Amino acid sequence: MAPPASPVPSSGEASVSSLSRSQLMDVLTDTARDLDNLDLSLTAPGVEAARRARASLVAQIRDHVLPRLADADIPAIVVVGGSTGAGKSTLVNSILGAEVSEAGVLRPTTRVPVLVVNPEDAQSLADHPVTGVSRLVTSEAVPAGLALVDASDLDSVQEANRTLASRLLEAADLWLFVTTAARYGDQTPWTTLEEAARRRTSIAVVLNRIPASILAEVRTDLVARLAGLGLSESPLFIVPDAGPHEGLLTASSVAELRTWLQLLAGRHRAAGLVRRTGRAQWTALRAELTQLAEDVDTQADAAAALEAETRILRQSPTSDLARDVELGSCGEGAPTTRWLTSASAGGPLASLAQGGRLGRGWFGRATRSRAAALAELAVEVRACVASRLEATVVAASDDATRVWQEAGAGTAAERLLPRSVDAVDVLRTWSDSVTEATVTAPKGLTPGATADLLIAAAAGVEGARGAAERLGLGQELERAQTSLTQALGGALAVLLPEGAAASLAPDPSLAAALRLRASELAPFAQPGGTGGIGYD
Protein backbone atom coordinates (compact mmCIF):
# COMPACT_ATOMS: atom_id res chain seq x y z
CA MET A 1 0.00 0.00 0.00
CA ALA A 2 1.27 3.49 -0.78
CA PRO A 3 2.61 5.54 2.15
CA PRO A 4 -0.04 7.70 3.82
CA ALA A 5 -0.59 11.11 2.32
CA SER A 6 1.26 13.86 4.10
CA PRO A 7 -0.65 15.90 6.65
CA VAL A 8 -2.87 18.63 5.29
CA PRO A 9 -4.30 21.66 7.03
CA SER A 10 -7.52 21.08 8.92
CA SER A 11 -10.54 23.28 8.55
CA GLY A 12 -9.46 25.11 11.70
CA GLU A 13 -6.13 26.20 10.22
CA ALA A 14 -5.36 29.23 8.10
CA SER A 15 -7.43 29.56 4.97
CA VAL A 16 -5.70 29.17 1.64
CA SER A 17 -6.12 32.84 0.80
CA SER A 18 -3.83 33.65 3.73
CA LEU A 19 -1.15 31.08 2.83
CA SER A 20 2.31 32.54 2.81
CA ARG A 21 4.72 31.80 -0.02
CA SER A 22 6.59 29.30 2.14
CA GLN A 23 3.35 27.59 3.20
CA LEU A 24 2.24 27.30 -0.40
CA MET A 25 5.63 25.84 -1.35
CA ASP A 26 5.27 23.29 1.46
CA VAL A 27 1.79 22.35 0.23
CA LEU A 28 3.02 21.87 -3.34
CA THR A 29 6.14 19.98 -2.25
CA ASP A 30 3.96 17.59 -0.24
CA THR A 31 1.62 17.25 -3.21
CA ALA A 32 4.47 16.27 -5.53
CA ARG A 33 5.69 13.73 -2.98
CA ASP A 34 2.19 12.25 -2.64
CA LEU A 35 1.97 11.96 -6.41
CA ASP A 36 5.34 10.21 -6.52
CA ASN A 37 3.95 7.67 -4.06
CA LEU A 38 0.72 7.21 -6.00
CA ASP A 39 0.68 3.75 -7.57
CA LEU A 40 -1.45 3.70 -10.72
CA SER A 41 -0.36 0.27 -11.90
CA LEU A 42 -3.76 -1.41 -11.84
CA THR A 43 -5.75 -1.61 -15.05
CA ALA A 44 -8.77 0.67 -14.70
CA PRO A 45 -10.83 3.07 -16.82
CA GLY A 46 -8.76 6.13 -17.71
CA VAL A 47 -5.58 4.82 -16.10
CA GLU A 48 -3.31 5.76 -19.01
CA ALA A 49 -4.54 9.35 -18.88
CA ALA A 50 -4.12 9.31 -15.10
CA ARG A 51 -0.49 8.19 -15.40
CA ARG A 52 0.22 10.96 -17.87
CA ALA A 53 -1.52 13.49 -15.65
CA ARG A 54 0.48 12.39 -12.61
CA ALA A 55 3.80 12.74 -14.46
CA SER A 56 2.67 16.07 -15.89
CA LEU A 57 1.63 17.42 -12.50
CA VAL A 58 4.87 16.42 -10.82
CA ALA A 59 6.87 18.04 -13.62
CA GLN A 60 4.79 21.23 -13.52
CA ILE A 61 5.09 21.58 -9.78
CA ARG A 62 8.79 20.84 -9.52
CA ASP A 63 10.04 22.38 -12.75
CA HIS A 64 7.78 25.41 -13.01
CA VAL A 65 5.66 26.36 -10.05
CA LEU A 66 8.11 25.79 -7.18
CA PRO A 67 11.06 27.52 -8.90
CA ARG A 68 8.78 30.46 -9.72
CA LEU A 69 7.61 30.69 -6.11
CA ALA A 70 11.16 30.40 -4.82
CA ASP A 71 12.42 33.25 -7.02
CA ALA A 72 9.94 35.51 -8.76
CA ASP A 73 12.74 37.23 -10.69
CA ILE A 74 13.84 34.27 -12.76
CA PRO A 75 13.31 34.90 -16.46
CA ALA A 76 10.27 33.61 -18.30
CA ILE A 77 11.03 30.17 -19.78
CA VAL A 78 10.28 29.97 -23.52
CA VAL A 79 10.54 26.37 -24.75
CA VAL A 80 11.04 25.92 -28.48
CA GLY A 81 9.56 22.49 -29.14
CA GLY A 82 8.19 20.39 -31.97
CA SER A 83 8.75 17.30 -34.04
CA THR A 84 11.92 15.91 -35.57
CA GLY A 85 13.22 17.94 -38.48
CA ALA A 86 11.02 20.96 -37.80
CA GLY A 87 14.09 23.22 -37.76
CA LYS A 88 13.99 24.22 -34.11
CA SER A 89 17.76 24.61 -33.64
CA THR A 90 18.23 26.58 -36.85
CA LEU A 91 15.33 28.80 -35.83
CA VAL A 92 16.79 29.46 -32.37
CA ASN A 93 20.21 30.21 -33.85
CA SER A 94 18.68 32.53 -36.47
CA ILE A 95 16.60 34.44 -33.90
CA LEU A 96 19.73 35.02 -31.82
CA GLY A 97 22.00 35.58 -34.80
CA ALA A 98 24.58 33.12 -33.50
CA GLU A 99 25.25 29.36 -33.54
CA VAL A 100 24.29 28.46 -29.99
CA SER A 101 22.60 25.10 -30.67
CA GLU A 102 23.84 22.36 -32.97
CA ALA A 103 21.67 22.13 -36.07
CA GLY A 104 21.53 19.69 -38.95
CA VAL A 105 19.39 17.16 -40.77
CA LEU A 106 21.06 14.19 -39.08
CA ARG A 107 20.51 14.33 -35.34
CA PRO A 108 22.82 12.64 -32.86
CA THR A 109 21.16 9.71 -31.09
CA THR A 110 21.09 11.59 -27.79
CA ARG A 111 20.43 15.31 -27.95
CA VAL A 112 20.90 17.52 -24.92
CA PRO A 113 18.53 20.52 -24.80
CA VAL A 114 20.17 23.92 -24.96
CA LEU A 115 19.15 26.67 -22.51
CA VAL A 116 20.14 30.13 -23.78
CA VAL A 117 19.97 33.04 -21.32
CA ASN A 118 21.19 36.59 -21.06
CA PRO A 119 24.36 36.73 -18.93
CA GLU A 120 22.58 38.75 -16.25
CA ASP A 121 19.99 35.97 -15.87
CA ALA A 122 22.45 33.08 -15.68
CA GLN A 123 22.87 33.17 -11.89
CA SER A 124 19.13 33.21 -11.20
CA LEU A 125 18.74 30.04 -13.29
CA ALA A 126 21.75 28.24 -11.83
CA ASP A 127 19.62 26.01 -9.57
CA HIS A 128 16.56 25.81 -11.83
CA PRO A 129 15.49 22.23 -12.75
CA VAL A 130 15.66 23.09 -16.46
CA THR A 131 19.35 23.94 -16.08
CA GLY A 132 19.94 20.50 -14.62
CA VAL A 133 18.81 18.77 -17.82
CA SER A 134 20.12 21.29 -20.37
CA ARG A 135 23.36 22.75 -21.61
CA LEU A 136 23.48 26.34 -20.40
CA VAL A 137 24.64 28.95 -22.92
CA THR A 138 24.79 32.68 -22.26
CA SER A 139 24.17 35.16 -25.05
CA GLU A 140 23.65 38.91 -25.14
CA ALA A 141 21.27 38.26 -28.03
CA VAL A 142 18.66 36.85 -25.63
CA PRO A 143 16.64 39.69 -24.12
CA ALA A 144 16.95 39.94 -20.35
CA GLY A 145 13.90 38.44 -18.72
CA LEU A 146 13.54 35.60 -21.21
CA ALA A 147 15.27 32.23 -21.45
CA LEU A 148 15.08 30.18 -24.66
CA VAL A 149 15.18 26.37 -24.51
CA ASP A 150 15.89 24.41 -27.68
CA ALA A 151 14.11 21.24 -26.57
CA SER A 152 14.40 17.59 -27.54
CA ASP A 153 12.12 16.28 -30.29
CA LEU A 154 8.60 15.37 -29.15
CA ASP A 155 8.63 12.35 -31.47
CA SER A 156 12.23 11.29 -30.94
CA VAL A 157 13.02 7.62 -31.52
CA GLN A 158 14.55 7.65 -28.04
CA GLU A 159 11.95 7.39 -25.26
CA ALA A 160 14.22 9.30 -22.87
CA ASN A 161 14.32 12.23 -25.31
CA ARG A 162 10.53 12.22 -25.69
CA THR A 163 10.13 12.18 -21.91
CA LEU A 164 12.60 15.03 -21.53
CA ALA A 165 10.81 17.08 -24.19
CA SER A 166 7.51 16.66 -22.36
CA ARG A 167 9.13 17.62 -19.08
CA LEU A 168 10.57 20.80 -20.57
CA LEU A 169 7.14 21.79 -21.83
CA GLU A 170 5.79 21.46 -18.29
CA ALA A 171 8.42 23.97 -17.17
CA ALA A 172 7.51 26.50 -19.87
CA ASP A 173 5.91 29.89 -19.36
CA LEU A 174 5.50 29.94 -23.13
CA TRP A 175 5.67 27.12 -25.66
CA LEU A 176 6.90 28.09 -29.10
CA PHE A 177 5.48 25.22 -31.15
CA VAL A 178 7.58 24.79 -34.29
CA THR A 179 6.18 22.70 -37.13
CA THR A 180 6.26 22.40 -40.90
CA ALA A 181 3.74 22.00 -43.69
CA ALA A 182 4.43 18.27 -43.74
CA ARG A 183 4.46 17.68 -39.97
CA TYR A 184 1.94 19.93 -38.23
CA GLY A 185 -0.74 17.24 -38.18
CA ASP A 186 1.51 14.45 -36.89
CA GLN A 187 -0.08 12.63 -33.99
CA THR A 188 2.57 13.00 -31.28
CA PRO A 189 3.22 16.76 -31.53
CA TRP A 190 -0.45 17.52 -32.16
CA THR A 191 -1.58 15.44 -29.18
CA THR A 192 0.95 17.30 -27.04
CA LEU A 193 -0.39 20.59 -28.38
CA GLU A 194 -3.94 19.52 -27.49
CA GLU A 195 -2.85 18.72 -23.96
CA ALA A 196 -1.04 22.04 -23.59
CA ALA A 197 -4.10 23.89 -24.86
CA ARG A 198 -6.31 22.03 -22.41
CA ARG A 199 -4.06 23.19 -19.58
CA ARG A 200 -4.19 26.71 -21.04
CA THR A 201 -0.43 26.95 -21.46
CA SER A 202 0.65 30.11 -23.30
CA ILE A 203 1.38 28.98 -26.87
CA ALA A 204 2.72 30.55 -30.02
CA VAL A 205 3.06 28.64 -33.29
CA VAL A 206 5.77 28.83 -35.94
CA LEU A 207 5.01 27.35 -39.34
CA ASN A 208 8.54 26.81 -40.58
CA ARG A 209 10.00 26.08 -44.00
CA ILE A 210 6.71 26.77 -45.78
CA PRO A 211 6.86 27.02 -49.60
CA ALA A 212 5.01 30.03 -50.97
CA SER A 213 3.03 27.81 -53.37
CA ILE A 214 1.13 26.07 -50.55
CA LEU A 215 1.23 28.81 -47.90
CA ALA A 216 -2.41 29.89 -48.25
CA GLU A 217 -3.79 26.36 -48.18
CA VAL A 218 -1.67 25.17 -45.25
CA ARG A 219 -2.18 28.32 -43.25
CA THR A 220 -5.97 28.13 -43.63
CA ASP A 221 -6.02 24.52 -42.48
CA LEU A 222 -3.65 25.13 -39.56
CA VAL A 223 -5.59 28.18 -38.37
CA ALA A 224 -8.80 26.15 -38.42
CA ARG A 225 -7.16 23.34 -36.43
CA LEU A 226 -5.80 25.79 -33.88
CA ALA A 227 -9.22 27.39 -33.52
CA GLY A 228 -10.60 23.94 -32.76
CA LEU A 229 -8.20 23.78 -29.82
CA GLY A 230 -9.22 27.21 -28.58
CA LEU A 231 -5.94 28.72 -29.82
CA SER A 232 -7.38 31.13 -32.37
CA GLU A 233 -5.75 34.06 -30.56
CA SER A 234 -2.35 32.41 -30.28
CA PRO A 235 0.35 34.15 -32.33
CA LEU A 236 1.16 32.40 -35.62
CA PHE A 237 4.46 33.13 -37.35
CA ILE A 238 5.36 32.10 -40.89
CA VAL A 239 8.97 31.36 -41.81
CA PRO A 240 9.38 30.84 -45.58
CA ASP A 241 11.21 27.86 -47.04
CA ALA A 242 14.87 28.76 -47.56
CA GLY A 243 15.65 25.64 -49.58
CA PRO A 244 18.81 23.59 -49.02
CA HIS A 245 21.18 25.68 -46.93
CA GLU A 246 23.60 25.66 -44.03
CA GLY A 247 23.90 28.17 -41.24
CA LEU A 248 21.45 30.87 -40.20
CA LEU A 249 18.26 31.92 -41.89
CA THR A 250 18.09 35.44 -43.25
CA ALA A 251 17.33 38.14 -40.71
CA SER A 252 14.18 39.14 -42.58
CA SER A 253 12.67 35.66 -42.40
CA VAL A 254 12.73 35.65 -38.58
CA ALA A 255 12.39 39.39 -37.99
CA GLU A 256 8.73 39.23 -36.92
CA LEU A 257 9.38 36.43 -34.46
CA ARG A 258 12.49 38.12 -33.06
CA THR A 259 10.62 41.40 -32.58
CA TRP A 260 7.76 39.64 -30.79
CA LEU A 261 10.13 37.93 -28.37
CA GLN A 262 11.84 41.23 -27.67
CA LEU A 263 8.47 42.77 -26.87
CA LEU A 264 7.86 39.99 -24.36
CA ALA A 265 11.20 40.61 -22.72
CA GLY A 266 12.00 43.05 -19.96
CA ARG A 267 11.22 42.37 -16.35
CA HIS A 268 7.72 43.82 -16.26
CA ARG A 269 6.56 42.49 -19.61
CA ALA A 270 7.93 39.02 -18.88
CA ALA A 271 6.24 39.21 -15.51
CA GLY A 272 2.93 39.70 -17.26
CA LEU A 273 3.51 36.58 -19.34
CA VAL A 274 4.37 34.62 -16.21
CA ARG A 275 1.30 35.95 -14.41
CA ARG A 276 -1.05 34.91 -17.21
CA THR A 277 0.61 31.52 -17.49
CA GLY A 278 0.55 31.08 -13.74
CA ARG A 279 -3.14 31.78 -13.32
CA ALA A 280 -4.03 29.37 -16.13
CA GLN A 281 -1.73 26.82 -14.59
CA TRP A 282 -3.34 27.07 -11.17
CA THR A 283 -6.69 26.37 -12.82
CA ALA A 284 -5.27 23.34 -14.64
CA LEU A 285 -3.52 22.10 -11.50
CA ARG A 286 -6.77 22.22 -9.55
CA ALA A 287 -8.69 20.35 -12.24
CA GLU A 288 -6.00 17.68 -12.59
CA LEU A 289 -5.65 17.20 -8.83
CA THR A 290 -9.41 16.72 -8.57
CA GLN A 291 -9.38 14.24 -11.46
CA LEU A 292 -6.45 12.36 -9.94
CA ALA A 293 -8.42 12.05 -6.71
CA GLU A 294 -11.12 10.32 -8.77
CA ASP A 295 -8.44 8.11 -10.31
CA VAL A 296 -7.26 7.15 -6.82
CA ASP A 297 -10.79 5.99 -6.04
CA THR A 298 -10.83 4.06 -9.32
CA GLN A 299 -7.58 2.32 -8.37
CA ALA A 300 -9.13 1.35 -5.05
CA ASP A 301 -12.11 -0.13 -6.92
CA ALA A 302 -9.73 -2.05 -9.20
CA ALA A 303 -7.84 -3.42 -6.19
CA ALA A 304 -11.13 -4.52 -4.60
CA ALA A 305 -12.16 -6.24 -7.83
CA LEU A 306 -8.80 -8.04 -8.03
CA GLU A 307 -9.15 -9.09 -4.39
CA ALA A 308 -12.56 -10.58 -5.18
CA GLU A 309 -11.18 -12.46 -8.19
CA THR A 310 -8.27 -13.75 -6.13
CA ARG A 311 -10.66 -14.93 -3.44
CA ILE A 312 -12.57 -16.94 -6.06
CA LEU A 313 -9.30 -18.40 -7.34
CA ARG A 314 -8.54 -19.53 -3.78
CA GLN A 315 -12.02 -20.68 -2.76
CA SER A 316 -12.81 -22.81 -5.80
CA PRO A 317 -9.86 -25.25 -5.55
CA THR A 318 -10.14 -25.21 -1.76
CA SER A 319 -13.73 -26.39 -2.07
CA ASP A 320 -12.68 -29.03 -4.60
CA LEU A 321 -10.04 -30.42 -2.26
CA ALA A 322 -12.45 -30.40 0.66
CA ARG A 323 -14.96 -32.35 -1.42
CA ASP A 324 -12.26 -34.84 -2.42
CA VAL A 325 -11.42 -35.43 1.25
CA GLU A 326 -15.07 -35.84 2.10
CA LEU A 327 -15.69 -38.29 -0.76
CA GLY A 328 -12.44 -40.11 -0.17
CA SER A 329 -11.06 -39.61 -3.67
CA CYS A 330 -7.65 -38.49 -2.36
CA GLY A 331 -6.93 -42.09 -1.38
CA GLU A 332 -7.74 -43.60 -4.77
CA GLY A 333 -5.07 -45.16 -6.91
CA ALA A 334 -1.80 -46.41 -5.45
CA PRO A 335 -2.86 -46.18 -1.75
CA THR A 336 -6.01 -48.23 -2.34
CA THR A 337 -4.02 -50.81 -4.32
CA ARG A 338 -1.50 -51.12 -1.49
CA TRP A 339 -4.32 -51.59 1.05
CA LEU A 340 -5.96 -54.31 -1.03
CA THR A 341 -2.65 -56.12 -1.38
CA SER A 342 -1.83 -55.93 2.35
CA ALA A 343 -5.39 -56.81 3.39
CA SER A 344 -5.73 -59.88 1.19
CA ALA A 345 -5.80 -63.34 2.73
CA GLY A 346 -2.57 -63.97 4.57
CA GLY A 347 -1.55 -60.32 4.35
CA PRO A 348 -0.45 -58.32 7.40
CA LEU A 349 -3.67 -56.29 7.38
CA ALA A 350 -6.09 -59.16 6.67
CA SER A 351 -7.47 -59.36 10.21
CA LEU A 352 -7.79 -55.57 10.31
CA ALA A 353 -9.75 -55.56 7.06
CA GLN A 354 -11.98 -58.48 8.05
CA GLY A 355 -12.80 -57.13 11.50
CA GLY A 356 -11.33 -60.11 13.31
CA ARG A 357 -9.32 -60.15 16.50
CA LEU A 358 -6.00 -58.38 16.17
CA GLY A 359 -3.67 -60.91 17.69
CA ARG A 360 -0.12 -60.08 18.70
CA GLY A 361 1.38 -63.17 17.14
CA TRP A 362 4.47 -65.01 18.27
CA PHE A 363 6.61 -62.50 20.24
CA GLY A 364 4.44 -59.66 18.80
CA ARG A 365 5.35 -60.37 15.19
CA ALA A 366 1.78 -59.79 13.93
CA THR A 367 1.60 -56.42 15.65
CA ARG A 368 4.92 -55.38 14.13
CA SER A 369 3.85 -56.57 10.66
CA ARG A 370 0.61 -54.56 10.85
CA ALA A 371 2.54 -51.50 12.00
CA ALA A 372 5.04 -51.83 9.12
CA ALA A 373 2.29 -52.31 6.53
CA LEU A 374 0.31 -49.31 7.85
CA ALA A 375 3.48 -47.17 7.88
CA GLU A 376 4.10 -48.00 4.21
CA LEU A 377 0.46 -47.24 3.45
CA ALA A 378 0.73 -43.85 5.20
CA VAL A 379 3.81 -43.00 3.11
CA GLU A 380 1.88 -43.89 -0.05
CA VAL A 381 -1.08 -41.77 1.07
CA ARG A 382 1.09 -38.71 1.81
CA ALA A 383 2.76 -38.94 -1.61
CA CYS A 384 -0.57 -39.32 -3.40
CA VAL A 385 -2.25 -36.40 -1.62
CA ALA A 386 0.87 -34.24 -2.02
CA SER A 387 0.79 -34.90 -5.76
CA ARG A 388 -2.88 -33.89 -5.85
CA LEU A 389 -2.09 -30.70 -3.93
CA GLU A 390 0.87 -29.85 -6.18
CA ALA A 391 -1.32 -30.09 -9.29
CA THR A 392 -3.90 -27.83 -7.66
CA VAL A 393 -1.21 -25.33 -6.64
CA VAL A 394 0.26 -25.16 -10.14
CA ALA A 395 -3.16 -24.56 -11.71
CA ALA A 396 -4.15 -21.95 -9.12
CA SER A 397 -0.79 -20.18 -9.42
CA ASP A 398 -1.05 -20.03 -13.22
CA ASP A 399 -4.59 -18.67 -12.99
CA ALA A 400 -3.56 -16.06 -10.43
CA THR A 401 -0.57 -14.96 -12.51
CA ARG A 402 -2.80 -14.50 -15.54
CA VAL A 403 -5.50 -12.62 -13.62
CA TRP A 404 -3.01 -10.33 -11.86
CA GLN A 405 -1.16 -9.57 -15.09
CA GLU A 406 -4.42 -8.70 -16.82
CA ALA A 407 -5.18 -6.39 -13.89
CA GLY A 408 -1.83 -4.63 -14.30
CA ALA A 409 -0.43 -6.20 -11.13
CA GLY A 410 2.07 -8.61 -12.65
CA THR A 411 5.03 -7.06 -10.84
CA ALA A 412 3.11 -7.01 -7.58
CA ALA A 413 2.27 -10.69 -8.03
CA GLU A 414 5.97 -11.53 -8.06
CA ARG A 415 6.30 -9.73 -4.74
CA LEU A 416 3.07 -10.75 -3.00
CA LEU A 417 2.14 -14.16 -4.37
CA PRO A 418 4.37 -17.19 -3.76
CA ARG A 419 4.89 -19.17 -6.94
CA SER A 420 4.71 -22.54 -5.18
CA VAL A 421 3.98 -24.35 -1.94
CA ASP A 422 5.94 -27.32 -0.53
CA ALA A 423 3.14 -29.89 -0.77
CA VAL A 424 5.28 -32.67 0.70
CA ASP A 425 6.00 -30.53 3.75
CA VAL A 426 2.29 -29.67 4.09
CA LEU A 427 1.36 -33.39 4.19
CA ARG A 428 4.24 -34.26 6.51
CA THR A 429 3.15 -31.56 8.94
CA TRP A 430 -0.44 -32.77 8.82
CA SER A 431 0.47 -36.43 9.40
CA ASP A 432 2.75 -35.42 12.28
CA SER A 433 -0.17 -33.63 13.89
CA VAL A 434 -2.32 -36.76 13.56
CA THR A 435 0.43 -38.85 15.15
CA GLU A 436 0.86 -36.40 18.01
CA ALA A 437 -2.89 -36.43 18.68
CA THR A 438 -3.03 -40.25 18.79
CA VAL A 439 -2.06 -41.11 22.36
CA THR A 440 -4.09 -44.33 22.80
CA ALA A 441 -4.56 -47.32 20.53
CA PRO A 442 -6.98 -50.26 20.14
CA LYS A 443 -5.71 -53.63 21.26
CA GLY A 444 -3.39 -55.11 18.67
CA LEU A 445 -2.23 -51.71 17.28
CA THR A 446 0.51 -49.41 18.48
CA PRO A 447 -0.27 -45.65 18.73
CA GLY A 448 1.93 -45.08 15.65
CA ALA A 449 0.10 -47.75 13.67
CA THR A 450 -3.23 -46.28 14.79
CA ALA A 451 -2.15 -42.84 13.53
CA ASP A 452 -1.10 -44.35 10.19
CA LEU A 453 -4.48 -46.06 9.91
CA LEU A 454 -6.22 -42.73 10.54
CA ILE A 455 -4.01 -41.02 7.94
CA ALA A 456 -5.02 -43.58 5.33
CA ALA A 457 -8.67 -43.45 6.34
CA ALA A 458 -8.79 -39.63 6.31
CA ALA A 459 -7.39 -39.57 2.77
CA GLY A 460 -10.14 -41.92 1.62
CA VAL A 461 -8.71 -45.43 1.53
CA GLU A 462 -12.07 -47.17 1.82
CA GLY A 463 -10.87 -50.30 3.66
CA ALA A 464 -8.95 -48.17 6.15
CA ARG A 465 -12.05 -46.09 6.82
CA GLY A 466 -14.10 -49.20 7.55
CA ALA A 467 -11.42 -50.59 9.84
CA ALA A 468 -11.18 -47.31 11.78
CA GLU A 469 -14.94 -47.23 12.28
CA ARG A 470 -15.02 -50.85 13.54
CA LEU A 471 -12.27 -50.07 16.02
CA GLY A 472 -14.28 -47.17 17.49
CA LEU A 473 -12.03 -44.46 15.99
CA GLY A 474 -14.87 -42.50 14.38
CA GLN A 475 -14.24 -39.24 16.24
CA GLU A 476 -10.49 -39.45 15.70
CA LEU A 477 -11.11 -40.07 11.99
CA GLU A 478 -13.41 -37.06 11.75
CA ARG A 479 -10.74 -34.86 13.38
CA ALA A 480 -8.08 -36.19 10.99
CA GLN A 481 -10.29 -35.46 7.97
CA THR A 482 -11.04 -31.96 9.24
CA SER A 483 -7.36 -31.21 9.84
CA LEU A 484 -6.48 -32.55 6.36
CA THR A 485 -9.05 -30.25 4.76
CA GLN A 486 -7.65 -27.33 6.77
CA ALA A 487 -4.07 -28.19 5.80
CA LEU A 488 -4.90 -28.31 2.09
CA GLY A 489 -6.91 -25.09 2.30
CA GLY A 490 -4.12 -23.45 4.28
CA ALA A 491 -1.65 -24.24 1.52
CA LEU A 492 -3.84 -22.41 -0.98
CA ALA A 493 -4.26 -19.53 1.48
CA VAL A 494 -0.47 -19.19 1.55
CA LEU A 495 -0.35 -19.29 -2.24
CA LEU A 496 -3.13 -16.69 -2.63
CA PRO A 497 -3.07 -14.76 0.64
CA GLU A 498 -6.14 -12.86 1.79
CA GLY A 499 -5.72 -9.11 1.41
CA ALA A 500 -2.77 -9.24 -1.00
CA ALA A 501 -4.68 -7.62 -3.84
CA ALA A 502 -6.49 -5.21 -1.53
CA SER A 503 -3.08 -3.94 -0.35
CA LEU A 504 -2.49 -2.57 -3.86
CA ALA A 505 -5.13 0.10 -3.34
CA PRO A 506 -3.72 3.60 -2.73
CA ASP A 507 -3.91 4.87 0.81
CA PRO A 508 -7.51 6.07 1.24
CA SER A 509 -6.35 9.35 2.72
CA LEU A 510 -4.56 10.26 -0.51
CA ALA A 511 -7.74 10.99 -2.47
CA ALA A 512 -8.97 13.25 0.30
CA ALA A 513 -5.58 14.98 0.45
CA LEU A 514 -5.58 15.65 -3.29
CA ARG A 515 -9.09 17.11 -3.15
CA LEU A 516 -8.09 19.35 -0.25
CA ARG A 517 -4.99 20.48 -2.10
CA ALA A 518 -7.16 21.36 -5.08
CA SER A 519 -9.42 23.46 -2.89
CA GLU A 520 -6.39 25.20 -1.37
CA LEU A 521 -5.37 26.39 -4.83
CA ALA A 522 -8.79 27.86 -5.68
CA PRO A 523 -7.97 31.51 -4.86
CA PHE A 524 -4.88 31.44 -7.08
CA ALA A 525 -6.96 30.52 -10.14
CA GLN A 526 -9.52 33.28 -9.71
CA PRO A 527 -9.37 36.57 -11.66
CA GLY A 528 -7.80 39.13 -9.41
CA GLY A 529 -6.41 36.38 -7.22
CA THR A 530 -2.77 35.51 -6.66
CA GLY A 531 -2.21 33.46 -9.79
CA GLY A 532 0.95 35.41 -10.45
CA ILE A 533 2.01 35.18 -6.85
CA GLY A 534 5.58 35.96 -7.68
CA TYR A 535 4.67 39.37 -9.10
CA ASP A 536 1.45 40.47 -7.41
Confidence of residue 8 (pLDDT cuts 50, 70, 90): very low
The radius of gyration of the chain's CA atoms, rounded to the nearest angstrom, is 37
pLDDT (0 to 100) of residue 270? 47
pLDDT (0 to 100) of residue 11? 34
Which burial class, exposed, middle or buried, applies to 263 when counting CB atoms under 10 A from its CB (0-12, 13-18, 19+)? exposed
Give whole-number Cα distances, 337 to 330, 333, 341, 469, 484, in Å.
Answer: 13, 6, 6, 20, 21
Confidence of residue 536 (pLDDT cuts 50, 70, 90): very low
Compute the average pLDDT of residues 156-185.
86
Residue type, 5: A
Q: Is the pLDDT of residue 273 over 90?
A: no
Q: State whether residue 206 is helix, strand or coil.
A: strand
Confidence of residue 109 (pLDDT cuts 50, 70, 90): very low
Which residue has better confidence, 517 or 214? 214
pLDDT (0 to 100) of residue 533? 47
Q: State whether residue 100 is helix, strand or coil.
A: coil
pLDDT (0 to 100) of residue 485? 96
Buried b (16+ CB within 10 A) or exposed e, 87-105: bbbbbbbbbbebebbebee
How is domain 74-103+110-265 classified at the architecture level of CATH? 3-Layer(aba) Sandwich (3.40)
Give per-residue pLDDT as tens, 112-149: 899 999 999 999 898 899 999 999 999 998 988 889 99
Q: Is the pLDDT of residue 243 over 80?
A: no
Q: Is the pLDDT of residue 276 over 60?
A: no
pLDDT (0 to 100) of residue 437? 93
d(CA 74, CA 173): 11
Which residue has better confidence, 264 or 107? 264
| Share of residues in the chain with pLDDT > 90 (%) | 49
Q: List every span in the chain annotated with CATH 3.40.50.300.
A: 74-103+110-265
Which residue has better confidence, 268 or 430? 430
pLDDT (0 to 100) of residue 275? 56
Give per-residue pLDDT as tens, 329-364: 888 889 999 999 998 888 899 888 887 777 666 766
Mean pLDDT score of the chain: 85
Tell which phi-psi region holds residue 312, choosing left (phi > 0), alpha (psi between -120 and 50) or beta.
alpha
Least confident of 49-63, 146-160, 285-299, 514-528: 514-528
Q: State whether residue 342 is helix, strand or coil.
A: helix
d(CA 488, CA 497): 14
pLDDT (0 to 100) of residue 16? 37
Compute the average pLDDT of residues 222-250.
89
Give per-residue pLDDT as tens, 393-402: 999 999 999 9
Residue type, 258: R
Q: Is the pLDDT of residue 277 over 60?
A: no
| Share of residues in the chain with pLDDT > 70 (%) | 89
pLDDT (0 to 100) of residue 479? 95
Confidence of residue 18 (pLDDT cuts 50, 70, 90): very low
